[in-house]
Amino acid sequence: MKNSLRWIDIGVNLTNTGFDKDRDQVIADAQDAGVVYQIVTGTNAKDSHQAHRLCKKHPQQLFSTAGCHPHDAKDFSKQDLTKIKKLLTQPQVVAVGECGLDFNRNFSPKEQQLSVFERQLQLAVEVNKPLFLHERDAFDAQHALLRNYRSQIKGAVIHCFTGEAHALKAYLDLDLYIGITGWICDERRGQTLNDLVRYIPDDRLMIETDAPYLLPRNMRPKPRSSRNLPQYLPYVAQKIAEARNCSLQELSTQCFRNSVNFFQLEAS
């Protein structure tokens, strides 16, 4: 895989215990593969704090998000909100999230998911930072809340978009960004996404690995471990470039620019 191209992985779960043994190496390997910046996903107050600490250790490569994932909404407290809000004053913490609604697994009750998500929409307005969003089988409710807050929030990216055409169109109509993961590399469940990705405007597309999850299935030879790594982002890019019928260079330029603009990263 060429590594003269520059990439930004907008969703890496680097605080995951699966990286405890070799986290620094994983970050360095991504850099060598052309992934010059990584946005470390925060999923609750404690995790967002760890993500920020990691950023401070690797200030040239890492940024992070701070928020509460819908799975963690059931444990969200007032203190968590205070902690997350404080983290969002830090320059390395570039977005509110991962937040949103997940009615697929319902690890937290729906009502709690809705209130914790709405609280984070308000937080995004207060701190004037964009949102890093998760949505699974909750399009109607998520879209309704986003529409209500759209004029007040700075922007939002639907991370790991895997929805249908109507959802894509509705999110784009709200002028949101779309994050695409290695889900698109799955020849079975990724087919819809593969067909839809060409409809995302050049200036609304971003890419991500969601490592350690979602190992791209187009890797040859297949790695022995199923653990996904940020250094595999070019494989996701390859698949997207094919689906959009554009060159890797074009895709790299577009996604890099979009990510820098959206997260207000210092362009280097």
Piece in contact with Zn ion (CB under 5 A), picked from 24-32, 76-84, 133-141, 257-265: 133-141
Nearer to Zn ion, 12 or 248 (CB): 12
Residue 56, CA distances (Å) to 16, 64, 217 in order: 17, 10, 33
Nearer to Zn ion, 89 or 104 (CB): 104
Strands of 125-265 (E only): list them: 131-136, 156-158, 177-180, 205-207
Residue 50, CA distances (Å) to 72, 109, 156, 230 in order: 16, 26, 23, 18
CA–CA gap between residue 261 and residue 205 (Å, rounded): 12
CA–CA gap between residue 58 and residue 153 (Å, rounded): 29
Of residues 74, 53, 127, the one with CA closest to residue 97? 127
- Containing 53, the helix (H) or strand (E) segment is helix 45-57
Query: Quick check: 134 binds Zn ion (CB under 5 A)?
Result: yes
Piece in contact with Zn ion (CB under 5 A), picked from 131-139, 175-183, 213-221, 247-255: 131-139
Least distance between Zn ion and beta carbon 71 (Å) = 9
Query: Quick check: 136 binds Zn ion (CB under 5 A)?
Result: no
Piece in contact with Zn ion (CB under 5 A), picked from 23-31, 108-116, 132-140, 186-194: 132-140
Least distance between Zn ion and beta carbon 221 (Å) = 28
Please give the structure tokens belonging to residue 85: 């809000």
Q: Is residue 184 within 8 Å of residue 236, measured between CB atoms?
A: yes
Restricting to residues 209-238, which ones interact with Zn ion according to CB under 5 A? Answer: none
Nearer to Zn ion, 181 or 252 (CB): 181
Nearer to Zn ion, 80 or 135 (CB): 135
Nearer to Zn ion, 129 or 134 (CB): 134
Least distance between Zn ion and beta carbon 124 (Å) = 17
Residue showing the smallest CB distance to Zn ion in the complex: 134
Query: Quick check: 239 binds Zn ion (CB under 5 A)?
Result: no
Least distance between Zn ion and beta carbon 209 (Å) = 12
Cα 230 → chain centroid? 12
Backbone Cα Rg of the chain: 17
Residues near Zn ion (CB under 5 A): 134
